Structures are given as structure tokens and as C-alpha cells.
């Protein structure tokens, strides 16, 4: 299965991507995670991306597209993948079509996680991320036993710099301006599958898997 997850920041893309990818046994390719790993390792790519990420802006298309092109050329992505956080602009979507054409393949479905704005702000302002495995927790809705330690791997939890209320508001605006048109683009292409992304993590995962299976992905 070749699929893309779209939705506003805080819709639960990272969390759901992890479960969906495991279910279908495909690699999860999260551009935000790849950028964050590069920032931590202080690579050239990380240094270039950091200022955009800290401001809640998108990293320029050329940089992001080149990174995804390289990642999709890797062996494990040959028989399927789940892209999380890419594409985020119509230009990136067009580039993805070209990348897949060169690999003689196409997307099967695009899954939109639909969630309202207030819910997104609540989710992001309480989100804590693990330095070790990248898993997300929530100070209210999904608490680890110790508030600073990841139950999954024992790693230290932190609040992402871009999860501050001010940057969250800006990220939502960036989504509305640059990424929402992409949803319409995929709807026109007949690839869009939309699910309600409110409720428990398990409920949303079940909905997502059922929707992708129904779409024949």
C-alpha cells in the first residue's frame, strides 16, 4: 500500500501513522521526524531546516522534496510506504506524483484526519514527545506513569519548541493557507478518504484501517 496521511498539526498523524504502518507492514516516513533527527545531529540539512521549524513555517519545497525523493528510493519503500507530513503543499504533491511516476507506481489513497481547531490546540499544548523513541504523550489524555519519562522506552520527555501556543496558532494558519488546498487537490483526483479523528487513539486507528481497506489500499 502506498498512502499519505494529511491533517492539521495535532490531528494525531504521527501516532496513527505508527499504528497504521505496523498493521500494513510498511515503512512510516515522517518528514517532521526526519527533520528533527537532522536538527539533533546538527547535519547540514538540520541546520538549514531548524529556523523554519522553530518559527512553525514550512521548510522550503526544494529541500523537502529532495529529502523525500532519496528516502523513497530506499529498498524498504519499494513495496509500499506511509508518508506522514508530506506532501504539505500542492507543489510537493505534484513532485510526489513525478517521483512515483519515475518509480513506475502511483498512490493508492490519501487519508485525511479531520479534527476541529479547539481540539488541536488542546492536544498540542499538552503534548510531550520522547527524546528516545519519538512517541507522543499528553499531560492530560495519555499520561505516562512519571510525567518526564517515556513508558515505552524510558527516554526523557520534552515539549517540542513548536508546540508553544503562539507557534501552534501560526502552524494552524500555515496549514489552512498551504496544506488545506492539497486536500482539495486529492479530492479532485479521487484519492481522498476522510475520517473523523476525534475519540480515543484506538478508535481512530480502527477507523483509519477500515477506511484504507475500504478504499482498496
Active site residues: 13, 88, 127, 160, 171
Closest approach, Cβ 25 to ligand AMP, in A, equals: 23
Number of shown-chain residues binding ligand AMP (CB under 6 A): 17
Which span sits near ligand AMP by CB under 6 A: 56-64, 69-77, 138-146, 208-216?
Answer: 56-64
82 and 27 in contact (C-beta within 8 Å)? yes
* CA separation, residue 120 to residues 64, 115, 143, 191, 198 (Å): 24, 7, 17, 25, 10
CB nearer to ligand AMP: pick between 184 and 216? 184
Closest CA to 6 of 183, 155, 213: 183
Binding mask 7-36 for ligand AMP (x = CB under 6 A): --x---------------------xx--x-
Which span sits near ligand AMP by CB under 6 A: 82-90, 121-129, 133-141, 193-201?
Answer: 82-90
Q: Does 52 bind ligand AMP (CB under 6 A)?
A: yes
Closest residue to ligand AMP: CB criterion: 32
Q: Does 127 bind ligand AMP (CB under 6 A)?
A: no
Q: What is the DSSP string of 30-46?
A: EHHHHHHHHHHTT-HHH
197 and 113 in contact (C-beta within 8 Å)? yes
Determine which helix (DSSP H) or strand (DSSP E) holds 83, and give its type and residue range.
strand 81-84
Closest approach, Cβ 127 to ligand AMP, in A, equals: 10
Q: Which residues contact 15 (CB under 8 A, 6 or more apart)?
A: 135, 136, 201
Closest CA to 121 of 145, 133, 138: 138
For residue 214, the tally of other CB atoms under 10 A from its CB is 10
Closest approach, Cβ 61 to ligand AMP, in A, equals: 7
Q: Does 59 bind ligand AMP (CB under 6 A)?
A: yes
Distance from C-alpha of 52 to C-alpha of 38, rounded to nearest angstrom: 13
Closest approach, Cβ 210 to ligand AMP, in A, equals: 24
Q: Does 186 bind ligand AMP (CB under 6 A)?
A: no
User: Which residues sit at the interface with ligand AMP, rule CB under 6 A?
Assistant: 9, 31-32, 35, 52-53, 56-59, 64, 85-86, 88, 92, 162, 171
Amino acid at each position: 500500500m502506498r498512502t499519505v496521511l494529511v491533517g492539521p498539526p495535532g490531528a494525531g498523524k504521527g501516532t496513527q501513522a505508527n499504528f497504521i504502518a505496523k498493521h500494513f507492514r510498511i515503512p512510516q516516513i515522517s518528514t517532521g521526524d526526519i527533520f528533527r533527527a537532522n536538527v539533533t545531529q546538527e547535519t547540514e540539512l538540520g541546520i538549514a531546516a531548524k529556523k523554519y521549524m522553530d518559527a512553525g513555517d514550512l521548510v522550503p519545497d526544494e529541500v523537502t522534496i529532495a529529502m523525500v525523493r532519496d528516502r523513497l528510493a530506499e529498498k524498504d519503500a519499494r513495496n509500499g510506504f506511509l508518508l506522514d507530513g508530506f506532501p504539505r503543499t500542492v507543489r510537493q504533491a505534484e513532485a510526489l506524483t513525478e517521483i512515483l511516476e519515475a518509480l513506475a507506481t502511483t498512490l493508492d489513497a490519501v487519508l485525511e484526519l479531520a479534527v476541529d481547531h479547539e481540539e488541536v490546540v488542546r492536544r498540542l499544548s499538552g503534548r510531550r514527545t520522547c527524546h528516545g523513541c519519538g512517541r507522543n504523550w499528553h499531560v492530560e489524555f495519555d499520561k505516562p506513569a512519571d510525567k518526564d519519562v517515556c513508558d515505552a522506552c524510558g527516554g526523557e520527555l520534552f515539549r517540542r519548541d513548536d508546540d508553544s501556543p503562539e507557534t501552534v496558532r501560526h502552524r494552524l494558519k500555515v496549514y489552512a493557507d498551504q496544506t488545506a488546498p492539497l486536500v482539495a487537490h486529492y479530492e479532485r483526483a479521487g484519492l481522498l478518504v476522510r475520517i473523523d479523528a476525534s475519540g480515543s487513539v484506538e478508535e481512530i486507528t480502527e477507523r483509519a484501517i477500515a477506511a484504507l481497506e475500504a478504499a482498496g489500499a
